[in-house]
Amino acid sequence: MSKPKQEVVSVPTGRLVGTTIMAIGCGTPDGEVNNGFAAATAFLREGAKVCLVDRDPNALEQATRVLAEAAAQAGANGAVTAGRGRLGGVDLDAQLTTVVADVGDEDSLAAAFAHCADRLGGPTVLHYNVGIVVNGGVDELETDGFRRALDINLTGAFSAIKHALPHMRAAGHGSIISVSSVGGMRYMGYDYPAYAASKAGLIELTKVVGAQYASEGIRANSIAPGLIETPLIHRSISGHYDSVEDMLAARHAQSPTGKMGRPEDVADLAVFLASNESAYINSTLIPVDGGLTHYAGMPKR
């Protein structure tokens, strides 16, 4: 008889205490858990100070609300609580600040880094979780649409890294984490070459930065989420299917594990890469995909 599945519980260890993290693109416009917000929550649970950055003020307001409610609930329950998304022991007043910034606007990005340094100290970790999907094949997509994807997904990352480096150099160490995509590694069946090209470029940009600044104690690594169940897939690719239910069923079936991953799976790796536990991991790409990139499908029987 099969045993019921148990939730994998991640117990906070305080491994990010003393670390300031610039978490860009980590708001939540609907109060739902996406890859960026899950990472920001995990950073806070591990003791980091987090500057939450988003271009949407409402996404920051909702993120602050959800975090405050989670922290209050944990406090009402009594001690430090284990488990993903739970915030026992977190002092949001001391650990969290938010700022509106657009990665396409150099001035606002510079102001965001200055705000972080003033409120929490210079960031030694950059978590770049910005990405838009521009649909359309090469024969359908306007050149402006292609440029837009590159500007936000790739050039925005370049600008963020550029502003993060002085803080990391001053500290003598740093970790840059970019969230790319399996879609930047292989064709996923969706017609979005602009997204694929921008994420592929982000992967290589990250690797090059890690190699160039390694001698200064600065690492750079990229996370490639695979089939993750996030609010973004409902907004960006559900139109490729007859219904949302069809989309979910197809994506579950496409995964070697038989189910999509969760934002918390991506966040767990982000915490590891932000911590000293990954001190000798640099200039690499790590998929969080259940084996998808190495999977050709099961042979028909």
Q: Where in the sequence numbering do the catalytic residues fall?
A: 195
What backbone torsions phi and psi does residue 81 show, to the nearest 5 degrees? -100, 140
Shortest CA distance to 109 belongs to which of 147, 164, 64? 164
What's the CA gap between 248 and 244, in Å, rounded? 6
Distance, CA of 159 to chain centre = 17
CB neighbour burial string for 229-267, b if at least 16 within 10 angstroms, e if fewer: bbbbbeebbeeeeeeeeebbeebeebbbeeebbbbbbbb
- Tokens standing for residue 275: 């911590």
Report the distance separating Cα 213 and Cα 165, nearest Å. 9
Q: Please, what is the angle between helix 263-274 and helix 35-45, to 10°?
A: 50
Chain centre to alpha carbon of residue 233:
15
